[in-house]
Structure formats: structure tokens, C-alpha cells
A and B are shown apart, each in its own frame.
Chain A
């Protein structure tokens, strides 16, 4: 136990050897003796044989053997009449002792330590360096002056704590020990002492240590604890405030989402899952084979153009592009196509027996296969990727995801991105205005922006389609002129226009638009869709094979609004993809960041 402080004073007590001793020990008044408290205590060793006992005892100077040269050497520091063990009550009375000696050489210190026989009679050993005559703190415990040339093992080998006090205090104690070694009459102020004590009483020097393991905390620690407490409270308040803000943001987003103000793509949800209710509402019926009918076109253009293919495949894709028709009108039914096999489990349907689920795009599946997919994976048809929930259904009917903080962040980011486009677009800042179409087909800032983040093209489309306005048709009418120079912008226009086609609708962006357009004027909307679709066939593929493939790839990726590849820096990244890229992968985030994120939502 490290000592903080040692208090040394004079006590008087009866000789325990006399019959009926008075057990009371009393501290001699300061005015008659001395009382010195030393703070500059250095703890050299904390080896405590006596466990938790108080470190306190009557001071004495161990006696060295007369043959030891140290006995002679210490004479200059230790007066002849200093208190020795034999001047204290014998050990059988169980008084506590504290040894006290000068530390002037390693050899003599060893002698002093060896003079403690048995070693457990003392509660501690106090040394002082007579070479120092100040009351400054002695050197630290690791200082070489405390070395005994044994590598420090003396500290372990002696079963008592060892302390050092400043040199001047040690010299003072030595002097006092010489005065308080005999009976009362020899002590200073003996006339005053004799009034209080009988001549046979012991008047001796006593030391008691205050150790660090005491219950009262040092002031520095208390201060640190207070600081820590304040910091904790601040952290808690901040955390609470951030949670509160995030909760409000989540609720706000939930509300806007329900009102259809936010495209789900902005939240990083490309294909929301369906509700059980919506899945149950899809037509279910027996499979009726119809081998004479054509196979339902798969709209496979993305596969054959974006994916690498052999040359002949590539060219068939072009033909297919030309022949793809708008989806079957309301008059057709799944029975109009030959679909003998479930594309998910690859099992053939049993005619007139297997019950099949048909989606609005007329693709049919086993209910067991498709339902799970629609409920858990995506609401897009696994074959043609058409949105299964009809757009008129409105976004509110799609199973809305639980809003989390990541979604809030994404939405904010996407909104900011979208807002940024408002400024450079110059005159075209009002999307509802027909003029806003100009920067679209021209080369304004907006178009440049579209090229960078074409996902917003969908947003733009959505807002355009909101106006069932002849000007949309007018834009489409520009097709023939633009045919002269099949540039990127044209391809984009075609892509953007065609994204309104019901069968190739990239899901979220246009949902809100169709939502608005469809109920108000279904015919107008349909006409608009046809018009909007017109530019696609209008834009012919470039002549040479290389750029034609590139053209098809761009077109397909624009149609589908997907990022064509991780290394592809070109235009087809959707906002959602851009956000996804900006988002650190949740799984790769280190644990501490996840924890901080939990405590401070919104911290990144």
C-alpha cells in the first residue's frame, strides 16, 4: 500500500509489565512535545506481511551487531541514546513497532534490514537519506539511490513495507528518538509531562501512515469523476436528441412515402415486395395448354445486349428490339400464349389440373413458386421485370418497408441531388411547365446532369408525365429530326420516353406519375404513353457493329435504368445506384462505428 502521508508524534502509556497497568495511551500535547505530519513520503516497497493492519508503530532504531563496520559508520547519524527495541515494551505485549534508520550506503542498509529479527515484528521500516538536509521529497522508488545491488529483490524478501522520508525530517526524528528513549524525567518538558504521566510510564515516538487504499478519494480522482459524469450526461443528451431527430425524420419520411411524394428508388428499394393481399388478388386458375399460340415474348433485350453474346445473338437482339410490341392489351389472356413450363422450378404444368398464377404481364407460374418470390424478393415479374402491382394501384398499396435511418439518409441525399439539378437547368426549373422540356432535348445543364445521373431522368419523366399535355407528343414528334444525328442525347431521349411504356416501366420513378395521370384521363395517358414510346424505334442503331453494340447496350441499360457494370462510368447509373455506391457497406463497417451509429443515429 502506497503511503500518502506519515504522522509522527509522541505518546505516553503505562508500562505493561507493572501490575494493573493503565491501558490508556495518550498523545502528548503538541505544546509539550512535537507532532509532525509529512506528505513527502516515498513508498519503496509495499510488501505488507501484516495484511490490512494499520501501518503504525512505535519508532525505534535497530541495533547493529558491534562487529559490523556499519555500527561504527552509522554513529555520526544515530545518537547513542536513541530509542532501541529494548527501550520499548517487550514484544510479548504486542505493541507495534516501526523501524527507523538512515540510508547512507547499500551495505549498511542491508545490515539494518537484517537486524529486524524476526522480520514480522515491525509494521514498516522508515528510511531517510542523511546526505539530504532538505524536506523535499526523497527520490522516487525506482531511483538508483535505493538500489542494493540485488536487482530489487530486497523489496520482495522483506515482509514489511518500506518508506522513505525527506532527509531533514529523518534527522529531526533521530534527534527526537534520542530524547524520548528513557523515562519521563529525561524527556523535554519533563516538568509538564510529569504532571500527566507517572515516572514509570513510557513516553515514546509513534508513527502512523495514511495509505492510498483509504476510503476517501483523492481530490484529483473526484475531479476526474465529476468531469466524466458531465461528459456522460452530455453524451446521453446528445444521443437522446439525435434519436429524437431521427425519429421525427423517419416519421416524416413515412408520411411522405404514404403520400407518394418520394420514389421508393430514393430509399434504395428498387422493387418493393408485395403484400399478401395483393398477391392473393392475382388471378389463379387451371392451366389450359395452347400449343398453337406463340410463346410470350420475354422482352429479353437486356439479356442479349448487355450480356456478352456471340455475334449472331447480338444481331437477333436487334431484330427482337424492333419486333417487341407493347404488352398485350386487355383483350389477351395467359391462355393466348404457350407456356408449358414453370420458369422457376422448371416443372411442366399438367394440363387442366395444375393451378397457375398469372401476373398482369401474362406470365404464369406455380403459385408456390411465385408467391414466395413476390412476397419476399421483389414485385417485378421474374421473366420480364414488369411491375406486378398495377401502377394505378398507387404506391400506398405496396408493402411499405419499415423506415430506417439509412433510408432517411438516402432520401435526403437523393433529394439534395435532385434539387441541385434545379439550379443549372436555367429556365427549365419548373417541371410542370412545358418549357421545361427544352433543356431536356437541348443541351442545357439539366441534360448534362441527366447524363451524369440519369436516374433522375426518371424523376423528370415522372414529372413530365404528370402533365397530360400535348407538348409531350410534340417532343416525341421531334424524333424524325433527331434521326439525322443519332447522338447520345437522342438515345437518352428514347430511353426516357420509353420508360413510360407500361411493360418496360422501371418501377419506382414513374409510379407516381402514372398514379396521377391514369385516374384523371386514362385515354390521354395511354396516348401519351404511345407517343412517348415512339422515339424508340425512331432511333436507328448506328451502322458499324462496334458502335451498334454499344448503342444497344446503352439503350438497354437506359431502358431498364440499371447500372451496367461496376467499371462503367457512363450515363446509366441511377440515383439509387449512386447512393448505394456512396453508402458504406453495412457489413464492412467496423464494430465501433456500428456502436457509435447506434448511440448517435445520423453519425456517419
Chain B
């Protein structure tokens, strides 16, 4: 069942792509690993950047949530600042995940998070504090990181 649903969701996303989001399968045979290229939303600190994300779906999908991680380094309170780049998305927590949620929702949330970081749900407390207290400095660093790591 999971294969069928994943194929359907993938097909839908290819047919009607989300704004600024490109999806490819790095390995044609493996439907469970998606590679996503997300443009930094206009007006956000990440504008002009191209972020590569990896979405991995569990075998039990849709009963278990997928995991989303940034492959491109990003200065963001909700993304771990390590080589994993795990993204903290409430939607993706095992006990909050609903099988009726779809991947396009997940991706839209991720993009929404770029527009509007959630310092209260932060995984990087230092960045969150900066975001709250010194927005100017935050924007400067975030933009510098975009230039350094996420140039097109």
C-alpha cells in the first residue's frame, strides 16, 4: 500500500509542482528516498538560495512519518546546525503524525518555516535567541550562509 500511495503522491507532485520546489528520485528504484530542491522564498532571509533537502519515507508510510533533513547548510533556529541538518517539524513527530497528512503539506510547512522561523520550537537555541533579540544580526548571518552554501 505504501508504494502505491508514495507513487501517487510523487506523481501528483510532478504533475502540479509546488511553488519553488523540485523533486527528484536520486535512485529510481528506491521510492523511499526523495531529493528536494527548495528555493529560498522571496522576501525571506533565504531568498536567492537553493536548498537541497532529503526526504526519507519509512516502509510503514503513511502510518509512520517521513523524515526531512537539509543537505545544504542553513542558518535557521529549527534546523540542526550539524551534518544531519534535521528539521524540527511538529507535523513529523511520531505521535503527531497523521496518516492523512501528505508530503506536499510537509513540504509546504518546511517552506513556511523558511519564511517564518519558530524560535519557540527551536532546536538551535542560540540561533533562536538571536532571532528573537537581534533580528538584524540573524538576517546578516543567514544571508551570509546563503551566499556561502546555497548559491545557485
**Interface set of A (CB-CB < 8 Å, partner B):** 270, 298, 302-303, 306-311, 313, 343-347, 368-369, 373, 377, 382-383, 385, 549-550, 553, 560, 562-568
Q: Which residue of B lies closest to A368 (CB)?
A: B1
The CA-CA distance from A216 to B90 in the complex, in Å, is 72
Q: B50 within 8 Å of A by Cβ? A: no
Question: Which of B1, B88, B99, B112 lies in contact with A310, CB distance below 8 A?
Answer: B112
A344 neighbours in B (Cβ, 8 Å): 1, 5, 62, 99-100
Q: Which residue of B lies closest to A577 (CB)?
A: B95
Q: B125 within 8 Å of A by Cβ? A: yes
Q: Are A311 and B8 in contact (CB under 8 A)?
A: no
Question: Which of B5, B78, B99 lies in contact with A308, CB distance below 8 A?
Answer: B78
**Interface set of B (CB-CB < 8 Å, partner A):** 1, 4-5, 8-9, 60, 62-63, 78, 88-91, 93, 95-96, 98-102, 109, 112-113, 115-118, 120-123, 125
B116 neighbours in A (Cβ, 8 Å): 308-311
The CA-CA distance from A572 to B119 in the complex, in Å, is 18
Q: A309-B116, A344-B62, A368-B1 are in contact. Are A564 and B121 (CB under 8 A)?
A: yes
In the complex, 25 of the A-B residue pairs with CB atoms within 8 angstroms, ordered by the A residue number, are: A302-B96, A303-B90, A306-B96, A307-B90, A307-B96, A307-B109, A308-B116, A309-B116, A310-B112, A310-B115, A310-B116, A311-B116, A344-B5, A344-B62, A345-B1, A345-B4, A368-B1, A373-B63, A377-B60, A382-B63, A382-B100, A560-B96, A564-B90, A565-B93, A567-B125
B62 neighbours in A (Cβ, 8 Å): 344
A550 neighbours in B (Cβ, 8 Å): 120
Q: Are B98 and A303 in contact (CB under 8 A)?
A: yes
B101 neighbours in A (Cβ, 8 Å): 303
Q: Are A565 and B99 in contact (CB under 8 A)?
A: no
A383 neighbours in B (Cβ, 8 Å): 98-100
**Sample of 8 more A-B contacts, CB < 8 Å, known A307-B89, A307-B91, A553-B121:** A306-B90, A306-B121, A308-B90, A344-B1, A344-B62, A383-B98, A553-B120, A562-B93
- What are the 7 A-B residue pairs with the smallest beta carbon separation, nearest first? A343-B100, A307-B90, A382-B99, A308-B118, A306-B90, A310-B112, A307-B91
Q: Which residue of A lies closest to B124 (CB)?
A: A567
The CA-CA distance from A562 to B63 in the complex, in Å, is 18
Q: A313-B112, A345-B1, A346-B102 are in contact. Are A549 and B120 (CB under 8 A)?
A: yes
Q: How far is the CB of B30 from chain A (nearest CB, A)?
A: 20
Q: Are A309 and B109 in contact (CB under 8 A)?
A: yes
Q: Which residue of B lies closest to A370 (CB)?
A: B99
Q: Are A382 and B8 in contact (CB under 8 A)?
A: no
Q: Which residue of A lies closest to B12 (CB)?
A: A346
B98 neighbours in A (Cβ, 8 Å): 303, 382-383, 385
The CA-CA distance from A550 to B120 in the complex, in Å, is 8
Question: Which of A306, A373, A553, A564 lies in contact with B99, CB distance below 8 A?
Answer: A373
Q: How far is the CB of B97 from chain A (nearest CB, A)?
A: 9
Q: Which residue of B lies closest to A310 (CB)?
A: B112
